[in-house]
Structure 1
C-alpha cells in the first residue's frame, strides 16, 4: 500500500467526518517513483515546480542551495540577494513616502509596535519596579532601607522574588495554553491579566507599611503571570503571522522573519525608556524642585501610582485589540493540528521533541538562563555602578538619568540586532556567541582590576565597559534567545518549548536576585562573567543556525519525524549549516540529498493537493456548491500549471459509480502516474478501473 497518501475507507454518509490523507508522500503502492532522471525528478517536473522547490533567494539558477556553494560563490550569491532585497525595500519605502509621507510610520506601528505592545508594557512595568526602589528607600527608610524596622526584610525581598516567580509560572502555563487552546486565547488572556494586575498594583494598600508591601508583592506576582505568558505567545504569534496557514512561506518570511520577531521584542526596550522618562518627568513636576532629596511621602505616592495607572489604559486597549482585531492568530497552529489529526494538546509532538530535540532544548533554556544572570544582574547592581561613577549618588534623579543613558544604549543594541539577525553570514548563532563573549570580556576585565577601574584614573573605561555590556547583551543573547526558543521547534509545541526555555531563563534572574543579596560588588564581577562564557559554549555546541531557513521546510521535516520516518527526509532542514555541532556529531545530517528532496517536495505537495481536491469533490457530490473551492485555495505561487499537473498525474482510486462526478468516494489511494518527460500527457488514466 502507498506510503505517499495513506489508504482510507470509502466514505460512509453515516460515519461522521471523513478522514483525509495525511503524512509525508514517498511513492506509489509498490514503493517506487515513476520513471525519473537520476536526480529523482524529471526535467519536466523540475520546470513546473522549480519556483516552489527552488526559490531564487535560496538557490542559484542551477538549483544549488546557497550553503552548498563554494565560499567565494556563496558570498557573491548572498550579497546579490541581500542587495536586491535592500533596493526593493528602499524603493517600496520611497513609493510609500510619495503616496503618503506618514505611511512608513503607520506601517511600523502595525508591524512592530502592535505585535510587541504587550512586551512594551511588560518592559515598562517590570523595570519600573527596580527604578522605584530608590524612591521608596528615600521615602520609607524604615521599610526599604538597609536595616528595615517596620517591615519584614523577607517581605521586602519577596517583591523581587514573587515578581520573577509569577513570570516563571506564566511562561510555563501560558506556553502550554498557547499550544493547547490556541495563540489567540493566550494573547487575550495575557492582556486581561496584565490589566487587572496593573489595577491591583495601582490600588495596593495596607493597614501599615508591611501590609502594603505584602499587597504590593502579591499584586506583582499576579501581574507577572500575565507578563510571563507574553514571552511564548508574542514570540510564536509574531513568527507564525508571517506564514499563512497551510501555505508556503513567502520570500519575505525567509529573508525577514528574524527582523519581524525582533522588532516586536525590542518594544521591551521602548517600554523601559518610556517608563524611565515618565518617572523623571513626574518627579520634576510633583517634587517642585531640582529632583534632589528629601522627597515627601505624598509626592512618592503620586509618582508611583500614576506610573502604574498610565500603562493600565494602554493595556485595556490591548485587550480590545487582541479580542477583536486578531481573529486569525491561531491559524497556523490549527493547520498543524489538523494535519496531525490532533484536537487537544499534542502530547506525541511533546514526547518526540524531548527525545529528538533535547539538545535544542538544552541550548535554548541553558543560554537563556546564562543571559538572564547577565541581564537582570546588570539591573540589580546598577545602583552600585552609579554610586561609583556619579557625583551625586544619593539623588534618585541622578540615578534615573544614568538609567536612561543605559536604556538608550540598549535600544541601539536591539535595533542593530534586528538589522543583522537575518544576515546569512552573521545571523542568529554568531550574534549570540559574539554577544556572550563580549559580555564575558566586559565583566571579567574589571573583575581582576576592580580597584583601578573604580578609581578616578579608570572610571571612564569602567563606564564604557558597563555600557558596552548593555549594548552587546541586546545585540546578542537577549534578542536571539527570544527568537530561537520558538523558531527551532515545531508548531504544535512551539509555545510550550519557548515557555519552558523562558522559565529556565528566569531562574537565572531569580538566582541573580538571591545571590547578589549575599555577595559584595567586587565579588559579583568575579561571578558574573563565567555565565557569559558558559552561554557562548552552549550556543556553539547545541544551538542550530536557522538563519534563512524556511519554517515551512522545518514543518516538512517534522511530518516525517512524527510519522516515524525521519531518515526518509532529505531536505535543507538537515543541511549541516542548519544543524548544531551536537546534531552533526550524531549524524542527523547524513540523509541530506538535494536531488531526492525535489521529488519528495513534489509528492508532498501532491498529497496536500489530493486531500483538498477530494474534499472539494465530496462537497460538490453532495450538492454543496457554497465554499466548494475553499479547501483548494493554495498559495498564489501554486500556478495553474501545477494544478493541471496534479490533476493529470494523480489517481484517486475506485469510485462508487466509476467517475469523479456524483457519488465520488474517499480515495483508496492517490498516487502519481507515469508521465512523459517534457509533456503533460499521461500514459495512464487519471482514475483507475475497478478491481
Structure 2
C-alpha cells in the first residue's frame, strides 16, 4: 500500500472550498495520550532548541492565538489584547467576505447552499423541536376557543388533569430523551443517536397527526401521550446535535483547529438557532392554515372541522421533512461518530466509558453545576416567557379574544428572538466578549426586564406605561436568546471531554427542562403580578452561577482541551502545563482551587512536541500495519462501519514535511515498530535517519521493523 500523501495545502470549508496555504493557520494537533517527560533518557524533552521552535511553530503557536513573539493572546495587557483580537477578527471577517464573493461570482446561489449544509441540516432536528414544542402554546388558545368544555378554565367534558398533562408529558418526555440519548450517544455513537431521534420524531408526528379518541377526553389523552413519545426524540436532539456539530469542527478531514477556535461557537449556534426558525414557521403556518380553512377570518367563533384540519395539517407537513431527515442521517452522515471512536480506541474502551464519567465528576464537578444550574435558571425564563405570553398579550392587546391577534403578537416576539439568536452567533466567538460574558449579560438583562415591572405593575399594565412594558417584554426575549439560551446549549458540551460529552450535555439539558417543568406547574398556581416577583430571581441566580462556576472556553480549541483530558485520563493531570488551564479559560471556582497553578508556556512547548511525537509514532505504526496487511483496516469498535464508517484516521495528517523528517531523525525504530515510548535493547535510541530506517515519505519499511 502506497504511503498516503502529505498535505501541503488544505481546503477551508468554513466558507466554501477556498484553498488555504499550509502554515500557521491550518496547523492541526490530534487526540493522543501523552508521553511522560523525563529528565533521564529523553533529553529532547528537557530542552527545546530554536530549530525545534521554528519547525513546530505553526502547530504550537498559531497566529490567530499568538503574537509573532510567541505570546498567547490572553497573556497580553488589556489594550494590546484588544488590538490583537480585533486584528485577527477583522482579517478573518475579510477573508470570509472574499470567499463569499468568490462563491457568489461562480454561483450566486452557492452561499445559500453553504448555509443550508452548515446550519439548516445540522439544526433540522432542533428546528422541528421548536416547531412542535411551541405549537402547544400556539394551539392552546385555539383549542380553548373551539372546545371550551375541554380546554376552557372550567372543563366539564375533559379531565383538567389530562389537559394539564399535555404540557407536563411532553416536557417529561424531553427530559427522558435528553438523559437516555445522551448516554446512547456516548455508548453506541453519535450517528446512531442522530438516526434514532429522527425516526422517533417522524413516528411521533404521525401519531400527533392521527391522534383521536371516542370522546374529547380520549382525544386529549392520545394527544398527550403522542407528545410524550415525540418529546423523547426531541430531547435526544439536544445532546446529539450539540456534540456532533462541535465535533464536526475537529473531525478528520473536516476543519482545521483554526476554524474550531474562531468559529466553533458560531457553527453550533447556527444549528441551535433553527429552533427559532421552527417557532416562526409553526406560527406562520398556523396563521395561513386558519385563514384558509376558516374562510379568510381569524376571529371566533371557530368551526370544529376547520380547527381539526388546521392542527392536523400543522403536524403532517413537518412529518414529510422529518422522513427526509431520517434518510439524510442514515446515508449522508457516515462519519458522525469518528471522533468518539478515536477517543475510545485511545482509551482502550469498547462500551460506555464509566471511568471517564467518574473522572469528569471528580475534576469537572463545578462545570457540571454551571451548565446544569445555568440551564435550569434559563429555562424558567425561556419557557416561562412562552407560557406567560398569553397574559402579556391580554394586557397589551385591544382584542385578546381573537386567536389571530394572539398569534400575530407572538409572531413579533419570535422575530425579536431570532434577532437575538443571530447576534449571539456573530459574537459568541469574540474573545473580548465570548460565551461567559454573553451569558452573564443575558441573565442580568432578563432579571432587570422582569424585576422593574414587578414593583410597578399597576403602572406598566395600564395605558400610561404599556409601551414601556411591551419594550421590556420584547427585550427580555431578545436578551434571552442573545445570552443564556444560546450559550447554555453550546457550553454544556464543549467544556467536557469527548467520551462523556453527550451524557454531560444531556444531563445539563435535563436539569434545564426541570426549570421548564417548574415554570409550567408554578404558573398554574400564582397570579400574573406574582409571576413578576418570582421569575427575576432566577436570572440573578443564573448570573451568579455563571460567574463562579462556568469557565470561558472562547478561543480555546477542543483538541487542546482533549490534550489536557488525556493527561487526566492517564492519572497525570498535574503534569499538564498548557493553555487549557490558563486562568482566562478557568472558572473562578477552578482558580480558587489552584487548577491553573501549573500553567507554564515554556514547559508546555516541550511537552507538546513530545505529545505530537507519540501521535506521529501511532500513525506510523498503523500505516506500517496496513502496508503489511495490504488493506485499509477497520475500526475495531465498529468493524462493519455501521455507526462511524470506514476508519480513515490516517487521512487527517496535517504535519508538515519538516515535522515528519524531524520525527524520523529523532525517534527510535523500535518505538515505531512497537508503538511504545519505553523501548528496550540496542535499538532504544537508534534514530530513523533519512535514507536509512525510513523511506522518503516518512513511512517505515520492512527492514527498519
Relative to the length of structure 2, the TM-score reads 0.89
Shift, 1:28, TM fit:
5.4
| Alpha-carbon separation, structure 2, partners of 1:289 and 1:516 | 34
Alignment of 1:460-539 (within 5 A): 460-539=467-546
Shift, 1:625, TM fit:
6.4
Alignment of 1:356-435 (within 5 A): 356-435=363-442
| Alpha-carbon separation, structure 1, partners of 2:617 and 2:531 | 62
Q: Tell me the residue number matched to 1:648.
A: 665
- Gap change, CA 1:70 and 1:217, over 3 Å in 2: same
Q: Tell me the residue number matched to 2:561.
A: 554
Q: Tell me the residue number matched to 1:121.
A: 128
What are structure 2's unaligned runs of at least 5 residues?
1-30, 635-646, 693-699
**Counterpart check, 1:204 vs 2:221:** no
- Gap change, CA 1:366 and 1:146, over 3 Å in 2: same
Q: Tell me the residue number matched to 2:616.
A: 609
Alignment of 1:342-357 (within 5 A): 342-357=349-364
| Alpha-carbon separation, structure 2, partners of 1:55 and 1:159 | 52
| Alpha-carbon separation, structure 2, partners of 1:466 and 1:632 | 50
- Gap change, CA 1:680 and 1:580, over 3 Å in 2: farther
Alignment of 1:168-187 (within 5 A): 168-187=175-194
Shift, 1:22, TM fit:
6.5
Indicate conservation of the 8 Å contact 2:252/2:649, yes or no. no
Indicate conservation of the 8 Å contact 1:653/1:668, yes or no. no
- Gap change, CA 1:31 and 1:169, over 3 Å in 2: farther
**Counterpart check, 1:639 vs 2:656:** yes
Count of aligned residue pairs for this structure pair: 651
1:141 alignment partner, one of 143, 148, 155? 148
Shift, 1:612, TM fit:
2.0
Indicate conservation of the 8 Å contact 1:190/1:230, yes or no. yes
**Counterpart check, 1:25 vs 2:32:** no
| Alpha-carbon separation, structure 1, partners of 2:228 and 2:598 | 48
Q: Tell me the residue number matched to 2:234.
A: 227
Q: Tell me the residue number matched to 2:50.
A: 43
Indicate conservation of the 8 Å contact 2:35/2:677, yes or no. no
| Alpha-carbon separation, structure 1, partners of 2:307 and 2:621 | 68
State the Cα deviation string for residues 590-609 of structure 1 (Å, max 9, x = none).
00000011111111110011
Q: Tell me the residue number matched to 2:81.
A: 74
Q: Tell me the residue number matched to 2:277.
A: 270
What are structure 1's unaligned runs of at least 5 residues?
1-20, 655-659
Indicate conservation of the 8 Å contact 1:246/1:335, yes or no. no
Q: Tell me the SS of whatever aligns to 1:381.
A: helix
Q: CA RMSD in A?
A: 2.4
Q: Tell me the residue number matched to 1:167.
A: 174
| Alpha-carbon separation, structure 1, partners of 2:254 and 2:233 | 31
Q: Tell me the residue number matched to 2:102.
A: 95
| Alpha-carbon separation, structure 1, partners of 2:41 and 2:677 | 16
Indicate conservation of the 8 Å contact 1:248/1:635, yes or no. no
Shift, 1:615, TM fit:
2.9
| Alpha-carbon separation, structure 1, partners of 2:325 and 2:212 | 26
Indicate conservation of the 8 Å contact 1:363/1:543, yes or no. yes
- Gap change, CA 1:673 and 1:571, over 3 Å in 2: farther
| Alpha-carbon separation, structure 2, partners of 1:637 and 1:665 | 23
Q: Tell me the residue number matched to 1:624.
A: 630
Q: Tell me the residue number matched to 2:307.
A: 300
| Alpha-carbon separation, structure 2, partners of 1:169 and 1:163 | 10
State the Cα deviation string for residues 144-177 of structure 1 (Å, max 9, x = none).
0000001110000000000000000000000000
State the Cα deviation string for residues 600-646 of structure 1 (Å, max 9, x = none).
111111001112212333444x4536679x97836453111111111
Q: Tell me the SS of whatever aligns to 1:536.
A: helix
- Gap change, CA 1:89 and 1:300, over 3 Å in 2: same
Q: Tell me the residue number matched to 1:150.
A: 157
- Gap change, CA 1:634 and 1:65, over 3 Å in 2: farther
Indicate conservation of the 8 Å contact 1:652/1:670, yes or no. no
